């Protein structure tokens, strides 16, 4: 890039897990490619979610997704870092005061995948087999697909969850394909789950780079990293989630993509935790926020309101 760098230095804040570090390095490489003269550094920030990994406490019971973002946001607000890198699916839908998402990077694989003993695919798992996940969204869809399986809460980073399969703690786990790819664990995958089998979390596979709303220099530096198609798709998904007013206690999935005419197509799902009630909606539109809000309204009318009311979402 021929323009002068808008900022002399950028400090990236990240969690310290292997996946978080890999994602922060991806963003650092993109910044260095766009602005070779900018000094890019990284600082590890421990979050409450990290501190509770070893206890195995289910995320919805101790605060949900914000557990992995609050400390990073506090470091941003305190000017201790210039940007924070998040998995977009972990970031609450409402911007924190004074903070914005300065870039949504080009999306990786949106799917989930199965890691199982002996390479068995989902349809081959024996009745009564244990399958681990910390996600209520995944658990609900698994129970809808295979009510004969035993779904158990399993936390920890990708490597930890894969080891739980090897160590026979569980028979299989479901994890995000993007994380598996970013860490080079593709060889562990027994099945890449199709989007007709399991819909992803809103924002899954995308990285969000958060910064201070008034930091014009950093916003300018992040501009080349922002992928318009990914931002539009994830905006529709996150608007769907926000318009449902669904908390982390409700399994909600959403996947948006552009068709050949570059119009957005959004598929959304709301399920009861036991998987016995599933509401699925699909529609298309040009405006991401309008599309997400419209489909949320359709889902509520179709039964999502009753599901969310029963789950406290």
Confidence band, pLDDT 50/70/90 cuts, at residue 2: very low
**The pLDDT of residue 134:** 86
Confidence band, pLDDT 50/70/90 cuts, at residue 227: very high
By annotation, the residues acting in catalysis are 90
Per-residue pLDDT, averaged over 77-92, amounts to 94
**The pLDDT of residue 46:** 82
Quick check: 292 and 243 in contact, CB under 8 A? yes
Tell me the pTM: 0.91
∠ at Cα 24 (18, 27), nearest 5°?
Answer: 145
CATH architecture of the domain covering 112-192: 3-Layer(aba) Sandwich (3.40)
**The pLDDT of residue 99:** 97
Q: Between these two residues, 155 and 29, which has the higher pLDDT value?
A: 29
What's the pLDDT tens digit per position in 128-147? 999 999 899 999 999 999 99
CATH architecture of the domain covering 235-311: 2-Layer Sandwich (3.30)
What is the C-alpha to C-alpha distance for residues 253 and 238, in angstroms, rounded to an integer?
Answer: 10
Per-residue pLDDT, averaged over 198-204, amounts to 96
What's the pLDDT tens digit per position in 44-68? 998 765 555 555 555 554 455 566 7
CATH code 2.60.40.1120 for 9-105+206-226? no
**38 phi and psi angles, rounded to 5 deg:** -80, 130
- 278: pLDDT strictly greater than 80: yes
**The pLDDT of residue 54:** 53
| CATH 3.40.190.10 location in the chain | 9-105+206-226, 112-192
**The pLDDT of residue 115:** 97
What is the C-alpha to C-alpha distance for residues 156 and 57, in angstroms, rounded to an integer?
Answer: 10
Per-residue pLDDT, averaged over 272-300, amounts to 97
- 95: pLDDT strictly greater than 50: yes
73 by Cβ neighbours in 10 Å (0-12 / 13-18 / 19+) ranks as buried
Give the SS3 label for residue 21.
Answer: helix
Confidence band, pLDDT 50/70/90 cuts, at residue 1: very low
- 84: pLDDT strictly greater than 90: yes
**The pLDDT of residue 156:** 87
What's the pLDDT tens digit per position in 236-262? 999 999 999 876 557 999 999 999 888
What is the C-alpha to C-alpha distance for residues 23 and 173, in angstroms, rounded to an integer?
Answer: 22
**The pLDDT of residue 155:** 83
Buried b (16+ CB within 10 A) or exposed e, 175-200: bbbbbbbbbebeebbbbebeeebbbb
| CATH 3.30.160.40 location in the chain | 235-311
């Amino acid at each position: 890039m021929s323009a002068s760098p808008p900022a002399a230095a950028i400090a990236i804040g990240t969690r310290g897990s292997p996946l978080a570090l890999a994602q922060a390095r991806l963003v650092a490489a993109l910044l260095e490619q766009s602005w070779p003269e900018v000094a890019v550094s990284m600082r590890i920030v421990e979050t409450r979610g990290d501190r509770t990994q070893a206890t195995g406490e289910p995320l919805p019971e101790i605060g949900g997704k914000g557990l992995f973002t609050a400390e990073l946001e506090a470091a941003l607000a305190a000017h201790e870092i210039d940007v924070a890198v998040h998995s977009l699916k972990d970031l609450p839908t409402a911007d924190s005061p004074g903070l914005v998402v300065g870039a949504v990077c080009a999306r990786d694989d949106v799917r989930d995948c199965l890691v199982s003993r002996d390479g068995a695919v989902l349809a081959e798992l024996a009745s009564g087999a244990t399958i681990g996940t910390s996600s209520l969204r995944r658990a609900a869809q698994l129970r809808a697909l295979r009510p004969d399986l035993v779904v158990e809460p399993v936390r920890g980073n990708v490597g930890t969850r894969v080891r739980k399969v090897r160590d026979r703690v569980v028979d299989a786990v479901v994890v995000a394909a993007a994380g598996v790819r970013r860490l080079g664990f593709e060889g562990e995958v027994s099945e890449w789950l199709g989007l007709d089998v399991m819909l992803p979390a809103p924002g899954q596979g995308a990285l969000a780079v958060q910064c201070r709303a008034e930091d014009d220099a950093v916003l300018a530096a992040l501009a080349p990293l922002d992928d318009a198609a990914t931002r539009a798709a994830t905006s529709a998904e996150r608007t769907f989630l926000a318009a449902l007013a669904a908390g982390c206690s409700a399994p909600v999935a959403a996947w948006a993509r552009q068709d050949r005419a570059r119009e957005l197509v959004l598929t959304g799902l709301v399920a009861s935790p036991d998987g016995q009630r599933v509401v699925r909606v699909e529609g298309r539109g040009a405006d991401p926020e309008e599309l997400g809000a419209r489909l949320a309204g359709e889902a509520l009318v179709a039964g999502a309101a009753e599901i969310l009311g029963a789950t406290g979402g």
